[in-house]
Amino acid sequence: MFDKILIANRGEIACRVIKTARRMGIKTVAVYSEADAGALHVEMADEAVAIGPAPSAQSYLVADRIVEACLKTGAQAVHPGYGFLSEKAEFCEKLKKAGITFIGPDVHAIGAMGDKIESKKLAKAAGVSTVPGYLGVIKDEAEAASIAREIGYPVMIKASAGGGGKGMRVAWNDAEARDGFRSASNEARSSFADDRVFIEKYIQEPRHIEIQVLADTHGNCVYLGERECSIQRRHQKVIEEAPSPFLDPQTRKAMGEQAVALAKAVQYRSAGTVEFIVGPDKSFYFLEMNTRLQVEHPVTEEVTGLDLVELMIRVAAGERLPFGQEDVKLNGWSIEARVYAEDPTRNFLPAIGRVTRYRPPAEGKRADGSRVRVDTGVYEGGEISMYYDPMIAKLITWGPDRATATRAMGEALDGFVIRGAGHNISFLAALMGLERFGEGRLSTNLIAEEFPDGFHGITPEADTLRRLLAVALMAERRVAERDAMISGQATGQLRRSLEGWVARTGGVNHPGSVMPVDGGADVRLDDRTMAVRTGWELGDLLWTGTVDGVPMTVQIERKGTRWVLFHGGAELSVQVLTPRAGDLAALMPVKLPPDMSKFLLSPMPGLLVSVVVAEGEEVKAGQELAVVEAMKMENILRAESDGRVKKVHAAKGASLAVDEKIIEFE
């Protein structure tokens, strides 16, 4: 077994590998860019080596610097995590020449399967069912549009070396094929230093289901069940689960055996994933093979009881798999939600910044038998950088059945406190509450179909609204009791301040009063009395307790004269006022935001890659105006209507803040 390994990655996956290595008694070496000098993985590792500037192309993607760090520290092996150099055959070659073990498949398997174009050719030659498409090298935009027409729209344009949703576009016509080819090529060049793309038929209403395989160097290869990864946005997975609510044992076995056959065809070793597109009739097509650990590997670990990182390390050290296919049993259900620094109400644009408060839900077993796990590389006071993927954490739950795992996920999301950087927890909680999710009716189009106009938050149901208002009223009573302890107040001030209130939200006044009792309060709201029981104290960001016997976890915070509450994906702003103040508040005019319709504003913090119009130029609706790059993704900004450019406020290369002016129209 190795004495010391280096993790050629950052963020949550680097921390994840360090935890397993530490449990195995193996020392660890972290590498970091200038932007990650204070990162959690650097603090957790036994040693850390600086490898360059913030951009990944100058640090985490420079193989020679990783090799140098290994030689400098005496690391005998490298775990690549996912992304960056994890599927680069040239990186493996350099490690091999330096006498360093790569914790992953060998060069042959990576070359054959890590390249999406080559893997499809190999799969097709092996008789594996594949999606119709064109696997040759595409010269330019015109050829891309021509090939797409031959295949038949819609088509998927994908980077050969891609992953994580980068370098992928769906095109429905020639114009989109040309734009998609250009953007996919640029993103692939920026993220993977490889601008090759291919085109294949886009299967409508598909499910994305993948098989986890594991192989050693002694000819043993097994599959560890499947993961349902159909809930995606911009081809980026959002929610994953194991097993799939769609597959039957026969289909699972057929997909698993095909995945193993493919792995054996390339003499695969280590952990890998064979991805399939699955149709409504359970027909399945090979999509690609990821020759690395997947982001969503924890759900497989939770239902199999295996540590995939440990097994990867043991296989790399030459050990045999300690079990066979007949020993693999799937126990219970596991769900993973990816918590990102992004604003779901602004089309999921990156929302970088410093994390001023970070309180993940408690890990471990819960009263109902479920479990909660949090994989993260973030800490309170840390910063979400614009240079890398904006993941904050992976929240994983396990339950004896799907309903229990889903309920545990919803409650864990309610209790996940993040402040400073924007995040998508409200969106994730809303997904958990969808009737369609609960029934397991999933497809890769679910998000687009359920939120066709984008996500703009959800409105709590009537019963949930009443319970949240009761919580706000009880919290206001606690404030009034504290304020009444201030000396020098007029006689009877406490009695007058507690006699009656209105809870105002959404422009509606709800009359209410609060009567303290042991363990909480009885709250009367709209002529109905509710039993509110809690041990909550003023200042706590998490309110936990019951309202009329219903268990609730509510994030609660006082902002000025308002209480802001978050529960079940809904955010509620409540003012608790005297009846007279409530009547006057109803008369107050609504302050409208300024009209910015004549400006093109940057929708996110990022780099202005290009401005393709000039002052005085006429523009048409839908015309490309500028390109902003953030989190390694290119975002094309287009004109919403016809007009004329009055002034260009920002030049190519500018670093933009959210809502910074780029172009002004007449």
pLDDT at 211: 97
**Residue range 14-26: mean pLDDT, rounded:** 98
Q: How far is CA 375 from CA 12, 395, 461, 486, 523, in A?
A: 6, 7, 32, 45, 39
**DSSP 3-state helix, strand, coil percentages of the chain (rounded to 5)?**
30, 35, 35
**Residue range 409-437: mean pLDDT, rounded:** 96
Give the Cα separation of 10 and 28 in Å (integer).
13
- How is residue 463 written in tokens? 């019963």
Phi then psi for residue 177, to 5 deg, are -65, -40
Range with the poorest average pLDDT among 21-25, 287-291, 331-335, 563-567: 287-291
Give the Cα separation of 418 and 403 in Å (integer).
26
Domain 599-665 class, CATH top level: mainly beta
The size of the chain, in residues, is 666
pLDDT exceeds 80 at position 253:
yes
**Span 332-458: which CATH code?**
3.30.470.20
- How is residue 319 written in tokens? 């050990």
160-181 pLDDT tens trace = 877 667 788 999 999 999 999 9
Q: How many CA atoms lie within 13 A of 233 on its CB side?
A: 22
> For domain 132-201, which CATH number applies: 3.40.50.280, 3.40.50.300, 3.30.9.10, 3.30.1490.20?
3.30.1490.20
pLDDT at 496: 53
Give the Cα separation of 317 and 295 in Å (integer).
23
393-403 pLDDT tens trace = 999 999 999 99
- How is residue 573 written in tokens? 């702003």
Name the nearest CA neighbour of 269 among 220, 329, 202, 342: 220
Give the Cα separation of 124 and 203 in Å (integer).
18
Give the Cα separation of 215 and 105 in Å (integer).
9
Give the global pTM: 0.85
Give the Cα separation of 413 and 554 in Å (integer).
10
pLDDT exceeds 60 at position 657:
yes
Single out the catalytic residue among 176, 288, 301, 629.
Answer: 288
**Residue range 90-104: mean pLDDT, rounded:** 97
Give the Cα separation of 516 and 417 in Å (integer).
28
Q: In what order do the strands lie in the sheet with 4-7?
A: 47-50, 27-32, 4-7, 77-79, 101-102
Domain 462-585 class, CATH top level: alpha beta
Helices 174-192, 141-151: inter-axial angle, 10-degree rounding: 120
3 state DSSP class of 337: strand
pLDDT exceeds 60 at position 405:
yes
**Residue range 23-46: mean pLDDT, rounded:** 97
Instruction: Clarify whether 288 is annotated catalytic.
Output: yes
Per CATH, 332-458 and 599-665 having the same topology is answered no
Please state the domain extents for the chain.
4-103, 107-128+208-331, 132-201, 332-458, 462-585, 599-665
The pLDDT > 90 percentage for the chain reads 76
> For domain 4-103, which CATH number applies: 3.20.20.150, 3.30.390.50, 3.40.50.20, 1.10.3720.10?
3.40.50.20
457 and 426 in contact (C-beta within 8 Å)?
yes
pLDDT exceeds 80 at position 346:
yes
**Residue range 618-641: mean pLDDT, rounded:** 88
Which pLDDT band holds residue 306 (cuts at 50, 70, 90)?
A: very high
What is the full DSSP assignment across 510-528?
EEEEEEEETTEEEEEETTE
Cβ within 8 Å of residue 495, ≥6 positions away: none
Give the Cα separation of 368 and 519 in Å (integer).
23
Q: Is the dihedral of CA 93, 96, 98, 104 positive or negative?
A: positive
3, exposed or middle or buried, with CB in 10 Å at 0-12, 13-18, 19+?
A: exposed
Q: Which fold has domain 107-128+208-331?
A: D-amino Acid Aminotransferase; Chain A, domain 1 (3.30.470)
Cβ within 8 Å of residue 590, ≥6 positions away: none
pLDDT at 630: 76
Higher pLDDT, 228 or 126: 228
pLDDT at 603: 86
3 state DSSP class of 559: strand
* Residue where the block lists tokens 């109902």: 368
Q: Is 132 left (phi over 0), alpha (psi -120 to 50) or beta?
A: beta
